[in-house]
Amino acid sequence: MQLSIPFSPDQASSYSGRVDALFAFLCVLTILFGAVITLVIIYFAIKYRRRKEDEIPRGVEGSMRLELFWTVVPFLIAMGIFLWGSSLYFTMYRPPDEALEIYIVAKQWMWKFQHLDGQREINELHVPVGRKVKITMTTEDVIHSFFVPAFRIKMDVVPGKYSTVWFEPTKAGRYHLFCAEYCGTGHSRMIGWIDVMEASEYQAWLAGGAAEGSLASSGEKLFQQLACNTCHRSDAQGRGPVLEGLFGKPVQLSDGSTVIGDENYIRESILNSQAKIVAGFQKPSIMPTFQGLISEEQVLQLVAYIKSIGTKQPMEGGAAKPQPPTTQQ
């Protein structure tokens, strides 16, 4: 499945070859189908060309069998293509559990990359070959789209939520990154590079890096700076839910429903604290909203921090005790 097709970019990710294979199959199908019809038309057009101005042929009305044949057979082929495409789609759009995490904040007209260990890059992302990479991204303004032709991957970045994409680079090299959703004047300039490096080179590059410390440690600093820790205490004495051990686990909400405590949940809770209230905590929530007060990158730092404490156990005393509802003034 590694045969490459003409006019295609490098096959540089673990599923590039699979996409090319399906594409090649579709090309062959098109050529076959097109050739058969074209040849039949040419043959008929010549054999049955009008020889006298006033000739009228005898009619051939129709054939139920032919109609069924050329309805059912294409339908079955189409279903086959659908299944093939869907299975590929599931692979491409289901991020693996274990992966190197990168965050992206897109804005008009640049890509801002953030490595977990604190490295920041603009428009050029370094990743190691042979490791799965999972990207969580959002945008500060309009919809953009993260597109790496060599990896055959694309995903829109939409304001107000996180979207995720993953890939596993299989070949070292420098590959185009394009913005693939029209976003204004600088859309054609919102391009960059993905640098896939051999493992050793990548380590070397990482070592040269981040003066400010890891993303999670920046998040921890911000957590204290913004006084989050006054309510979200790890000893369950605070007025907000404990955040240790929260990430990735189900959270019971006050309306009875349950959500998974993922990146989108954390982001929403920071920017719109009234959106989802944890069960047992008072309504309206006394958590202030940080919408407009912190940038998307700062949100990502907080998310990274909360993720990093997600593996910790909450301290003795178990889960946070719900506070009795206080009257609102």
Partner 1 sequence: METAAEVVPPRTHYVNAKYGVKSWLLTTDHKRIALLYLASVTFFFFVGGFFAVLIRLELLTPQGDLVQAETYNRLFTMHGVVMIFFFLIPAIPAVLGNFLVPLMVGAKDLAFPRINLLSWYIYTLGATFTVIAILLGGVDTGWTFYTPYSSTYSNGNVILTGLGVFIVGFSSILTGLNFIVTIHTMRAPGLTWFRLPLFIWSHYATSLIMILGTPVIAVTILLLALERLAHIGIFDPALGGDPVLFQHLFWFYSHPAVYIMVLPAMGVISELVANMTRKNIFGYKFVAFASIAIAVFGFLVWGHHMFVSTQSVYAGMVFSILSYAVAIPSAVKVFNWTATLYKGSISYNTPMLYAFGFIGFFIIGGMTGLFLAALGVDIHVHDTYFVVAHFHYIMVGGTIMGYLGGLHYWWPKISGRMYPEGWARFAALVIFVGFNLTFFPQFLLGYMGMPRRYYAYPEEFQVLNVMSSAGASILGIGYLIPMIYLIWSMRYGPHASANPWGAFGLEWRTSSPPPTQNFEKTPVVTWEAYEFHPREEREALGVMDVLDRTLRPDLNVGDRG
Partner 2 sequence: MATHAGLAHHFDDIEQQREAGTLGMWAFLVTEVMFFGGLFLAYILYRSKYPTEFAVASNSLNVTMGFINTLVLICSSLTMALAVYFSQIGNRRLITVFLLLTMVLGTTFLVVKGFEYHEKYVEHHVPVRFPTYEFKWEPHGSDHAGAHEASSLAVDTGRVEMFFWLYFAMTGVHALHMIIGLGILTTLVIMTRRGRFTPEYHSPVELSGLYWHFVDIVWIFLFPLLYLIGAHLHR
124 binds partner 1 (CB under 8 A): no
- Distance between CA atoms of residues 92 and 86, nearest Å: 10
Among 3, 55, 207, 211, binds partner 1 (CB under 8 A): 55
Choose between 41 and 275: whose C-beta lies nearer to partner 2: 275
- Distance between CA atoms of residues 248 and 173, nearest Å: 34
Choose between 104 and 278: whose C-beta lies nearer to partner 2: 278
Minimum gap (Å) between residue 247 Cβ and partner 1: 21
Minimum gap (Å) between residue 15 Cβ and partner 2: 34
Minimum gap (Å) between residue 255 Cβ and partner 1: 17
State which of positions 253-272 bind partner 2 (CB under 8 A). Answer: 272
Reference 152, options 139, 165, 142, 136; nearest CA is 165
Q: Which does 193 bind (CB under 5 to 8 A by kind): partner 1, partner 2, none?
A: none
284 binds partner 2 (CB under 8 A): yes
Q: What is the DSSP string of 264-298?
A: HHHHHHHH-TTS-PBTTS-SS--PPP-TTTS-HHH
Choose between 45 and 207: whose C-beta lies nearer to partner 1: 45
Which contacts qualify for 282-290: CB closer than 8 Å, 24 or more apart?
Answer: 282/323, 282/324, 282/325, 282/326, 283/254, 283/325, 284/328, 286/231, 286/239, 287/231, 287/240, 290/226
Minimum gap (Å) between residue 290 Cβ and partner 2: 14
277 binds partner 2 (CB under 8 A): yes
- Distance between CA atoms of residues 171 and 194, nearest Å: 12
Minimum gap (Å) between residue 152 Cβ and partner 1: 4
Q: How many chain residues are in contact with partner 2, going by CB under 8 A?
A: 8
DSSP 150: G
Q: Which residues contact 188 (CB under 8 A, 6 or more apart)?
A: none
Among 274, 295, 311, 323, binds partner 2 (CB under 8 A): 274
- Distance between CA atoms of residues 328 and 286, nearest Å: 10
82 binds partner 1 (CB under 8 A): yes
53 binds partner 1 (CB under 8 A): yes
Q: Are the beta carbons of 236 and 318 closer than 8 angstroms? A: yes
Choose between 222 and 251: whose C-beta lies nearer to partner 2: 251
Reference 149, options 128, 110, 178; nearest CA is 178
100 binds partner 1 (CB under 8 A): no
126: three-class secondary structure by DSSP: strand
Q: Which stretch binds partner 2 (CB under 8 A): 13-21, 97-105, 185-193, 277-285?
A: 277-285
Q: Which does 316 bind (CB under 5 to 8 A by kind): partner 1, partner 2, none?
A: none
Residue 20-49 contact track with partner 1, rule CB under 8 A, x = bound: --xx--x--xx--xx--xx-xx--xx--xx
285 binds partner 2 (CB under 8 A): yes
Q: Which residues contact 127 (CB under 8 A, 6 or more apart)?
A: 100, 102, 133, 169, 194, 195, 196, 197, 202
| Interaction site with partner 2 (CB under 8 A) | 272, 274-275, 277, 283-285, 328
